[in-house]
Chain A
Amino acid sequence: MRIPLNLYLIIILSYLLLGGTADAIEPDADLTELSLEELMGIEVTTPSKKEESLFDTPAAVYVVTGEEIRRSGVRSIPDALRIVPGVEVAQISANEWAVTIRGFNNSFANKLLVLVDGRSVYEPFFSGVFWDEVDTLLEDIDRIEVIRGPGGAIWGANAVNGVINIITKEAKDTEGVFVQGGGGNVEQGFVGLRYGDKAGENLFYRAYGKFFNRGSHENRSGGDGDDDWKSYRGGVRVDWDDKDRDAVTLTGDIYNIDAKRSLTVASLFPPFEETSRVDNSTTGGDLLLRWTHAFSEDSNTVFQTYYDIVDRDIDSLTKDKRQTFDVEFLHRFNVNFLSDHDIIWGLGYRVINEDLNGSFVFDPGQDSRTDNLYSAFVQDELTLIDEKLFLTIGSKFERNDFSGFEIQPDARLLWAVNDHNRIWTAVSRAVRTPSRTEQDVRFVAEGFINPDTRLPTLVVVTGSDDFDTEDLLSIEVGYRARPGDSILIDITGFYNHYENLETLRPGEPFIVNEPIPHLVVPLFFSNGPDGDSYGFEIATKWSPVDYFRLHANYSFLELELEKDPNNTEPRFREGASPNNQIKIQSFINLPYNVELDTSLYWVEKLPALDISSYTRLDVKLGWEPLEGVELSVVGQNLIEEHFEFSDSFIGNATRVPRSVFGTLTWEFK
């Protein structure tokens, strides 16, 4: 039976108007009448220090907390990002995602920087993120901070449209034993383990391990999508904090991913392309050390260094080994000169070595290459009018081996209208720097028979030293309101102007005689047209009563890329990003320790990729029969099986299935 829409509205409205106020506590309840003991028993809402400072941030920030990740029932980081306004999460296949902010989505979306505990996971060779490699025990995540808009002034190159910071909990917050296991139709078994303890007055540590086995999706013709995968991962974190001046954090992870991919590669012989099930095995690890030292309350330094190694072997494509060593230093201090200044400056150095093997379709140009990145950064947050008006100006200065010197300045103004309202605006420049792919590589994109010459023809995407940085100039305006303790509204509008966007410029075709005579049509990476994008995002968090929380987010995006008659195909197309997205999440506590949590996403069609609009519904029902024990059932994508993106360079797209799994979690000290 279909209930008419207006009937729903009548019922809800009449409840709100008539009954809605009946059971709400009178706002004037006098707490001073209560005794000390009674006061100590009252549960309070506490905006954390983090939330307080987020409210005062002159940038579009959205935070997904570890608790929200647990309650939404997601099993991967990209799925946890679906709720964030302005973020586009498209699952390409079981083990591949395209994630971006404010447009330009791709399996390697190159205008989004992603960091895990301060370590960049943006893959410099491919200019993007391998989302199957970005993982940890999800219960160890403290929060994911998503900054929409340019972050180049702080984070440097490639933080063009946004930055995602995945931050794990301190070891002192994960004391005890954690055991988790479960499985279902797509999640074909997963295990998570963690042990954390105190090893001294100021020393805490934890170690975790996890494994999962995920089944394959269906391909376009309804057959096996050949994208099943397994992932093994383990790691440690040690925190030492003398509670006064010094704190040291050490983190390390190792992982192995055994993924299958359905890969279509071009060939010289009919039918000029081959699709096969290939193995993709990835092994990697990282080690990070961070030392924070406070000279005084107004002056502190952060020294951080990390090493990251990854070895990817994608059959019939490439074997790739990348090592990164990074070291950075930050100093923050406060001075009072005419007004109050919070100054941060820093220096950084990163060296990346990448070894690649070629294949018929892929020629890395140079087998091994080492690149250096030098950076400096300065920012001043000054108080223009006490407690009212704050200005932040800063810039990153970088020198890289591809495009040389880059400067990314940024100015932000925050007006604290009153306790409940903030208005901010920002003007920033950010750049996306070239990668080896765009300067060195030759990649066979397509093969066919030329109808005129009858010659086999290969379209070869070719790197070019001329390819230069893509630039962004962005203007943002934001409004944040906290009309009461239970509601937060955040609205951001932006206008982005891009220059020198990447396109493919056709070159002069030529004949090659090996292994058989064929025609090569080169397409060179080049800087083409300008483009504009504009849009706005609305985020609301509402918790009218302590057993119910609702997050409702909406984003609108319009991309207008200039047409360039010389270019056959721009890398990114207007219709590859949804104009509208609606994201709603609700968390309900029911009696008997039962939690019912629902996430609903509506993503508009992607006409350029032939993807129709879709609705995704995730539901989690959790029950805590005993303290520390949770039994849950999660249904994901319950409404319709659908495609979310097109084929990528490393794998073909598959249909996102309906999925159901059960989980048992046991935690004790």
Chain B
Amino acid sequence: MLRTFIRLILSFLLFVTFIGVEYACAQPVSRYEVQAAFIHKFIKFIEWPEDALPTGSNVIVVGIIGKGPMVNALNNIKGKEVKGLKIVVRKVSELHELEHCNILFISPSEEKRNTEILNTVKGSNILTIGQRKGFARKGVIINFVVVDNKIRFEINLNAGEGAGLRISSKLLSLATEVMR
């Protein structure tokens, strides 16, 4: 009985192996890697006020608060250059460290501290990014959402203007929702 069972499983694996060869397809990508790539692109389509980026340093700091797979995904964009700025990724755990960031990704694990975090960065020129339903409404500037297994984003324009950021119309046109 058990032998028959093993035989069945092996036949089955064989079958899958063969269709695997015939029907090769792209490996699924994690949402976090795509989000990291989006963050890399946002730098190009968003303008910070001149005094927000320290002159001469030529870096842009992407901070991430909280835990989760996004921490690793951001390593993929670390060191890349956009608009002559080199991306530095910094893991933040204390609220007072936030001020050194130009971009802040708020991990879903920080749900509870969300309001606290947003209050801390209020008035500073930080592009806040989240990935939780309803986050944009709560004051995060860009919020990633998944629609039909694809990454989309919502933009809270009010919050963006509050942070002194100029978001390009191209980015606005691609957003699923723009809140004013």
Contact = CB atoms under 8 A, between A and B. Distances in A.
A599 to B, nearest CB: 11
A49 B27 CA distance: 22
A3 B13 CA distance: 14
B9 interface: yes
Given A44-B34, A44-B149, A387-B67, 18 more contacts: A5-B6, A5-B10, A8-B10, A11-B14, A15-B17, A31-B29, A31-B36, A36-B45, A36-B174, A39-B41, A41-B150, A44-B146, A45-B29, A297-B111, A419-B69, A545-B24, A546-B27, A602-B5
Contacts of A614: 1
B141 interface: no
Interface string B163-174: 000000011001
Interface in A577-595: 582, 584, 586, 588, 590-591
B76 interface: yes
Interface string B3-27: 1111111111110110111011111
A36 B26 contact: no
A417 interface: no
A598 B149 CA distance: 24
A243 B11 CA distance: 50
Interface string A40-54: 111111100100100
A12 B14 contact: yes
Interface stretch (A19-27, A201-209, A441-449): A19-27
Instruction: Give the residue among A49, A547, A614, A617 with the most B Cβ atoms within 10 A.
Output: A547
| In the complex, the 4 A-B pairs of residues with the closest C-beta atoms, listed nearest first | A23-B24, A31-B37, A8-B10, A44-B31
B108 to A, nearest CB: 7
Contact of A32 (B37, B45, B69, B71): B37
Contact of A615 (B5, B23, B33, B69): B5
11 contacts: A19-B21, A23-B21, A25-B27, A31-B36, A43-B29, A340-B112, A545-B27, A584-B9, A586-B16, A612-B1, A613-B1
A52 B109 CA distance: 10
Interface residues of B, number: 59
Contacts of B124: none
B16 A548 contact: yes
B10 A45 contact: no
A547 B26 CA distance: 9
A597 to B, nearest CB: 12
A543 B40 contact: no
Contact of A31 (B7, B34, B72, B114): B34
B71 A15 contact: no
A298 interface: yes
A45 B30 contact: yes
Contacts of A32: 37, 40-41, 76-77, 80
Contacts of A550: 16
Interface string A528-569: 000000000000000111111010000000000000000000
Given A12-B17, A584-B9, A31 B28 contact: no
A334 interface: yes
A24 B150 contact: no
A44 B150 contact: yes
Instruction: Give the residue among B5, B6, B115, B171 with the most A Cβ atoms within 10 A.
Output: B5
Interface in B97-145: 108-109, 111-112, 114-115, 134
A16 B171 CA distance: 43
Contacts, number: 153
B38 interface: yes
Contacts of A43: 26, 28-29, 149-150
Interface in A230-281: 243
Given A8-B10, A44-B28, A602-B5, A36 B34 contact: no
A41 B77 CA distance: 19
B150 A42 contact: yes
A49 to B, nearest CB: 7
B68 interface: yes
A15 B21 contact: yes
Contacts of B7: 2-3, 5, 8
A243 B133 CA distance: 10
B95 interface: no
Contact of A40 (B16, B17, B77, B152): B152
Contacts of B134: 243
A546 B76 contact: no
Contacts of A45: 28-31, 149
B112 A46 contact: no
Contacts of B37: 31-32, 34, 39
A243 B24 CA distance: 42
A348 B107 CA distance: 36
B179 interface: no
Nearest to B36: A31
A485 interface: yes
Contacts of B1: 602, 612-615
A2 B7 CA distance: 9
A51 to B, nearest CB: 12
A9 interface: yes
B34 A486 contact: no
Contacts of B38: 36, 39
B28 A588 contact: no
B149 to A, nearest CB: 5
A25 B26 contact: yes
Given A8-B14, A15-B17, A547 B23 contact: yes
A523 interface: no
Contacts of A15: 17, 20-21
A153 interface: no
B8 A600 contact: yes
Interface in A605-646: 612-615, 617
Nearest to B38: A39
Nearest to B72: A419
B41 A545 contact: no
A340 B10 CA distance: 50
A384 to B, nearest CB: 16
A485 B30 contact: yes
A40 B150 contact: yes
A309 B11 CA distance: 49
Contacts of B28: 43-45, 485-486, 543, 545-546
Interface in B61-78: 67-69, 71-72, 76-77
Contacts of B19: 588, 590
Nearest to B2: A602
Contact of B9 (A52, A297, A600): A600
B79 to A, nearest CB: 11
A40 B151 contact: yes
Contacts of B21: 15, 19, 23
A615 B8 contact: yes
Contact of B25 (A11, A36, A545): A545
Contact of A588 (B16, B29, B34): B16
Nearest to B3: A5
Nearest to B1: A613
B20 to A, nearest CB: 7
Given A44-B28, A44-B149, A615-B4, A31 B20 contact: no
Nearest to B39: A32
A590 B149 CA distance: 19
Nearest to A41: B150
Contacts of B80: 32
A362 B8 CA distance: 47
A591 B19 CA distance: 10
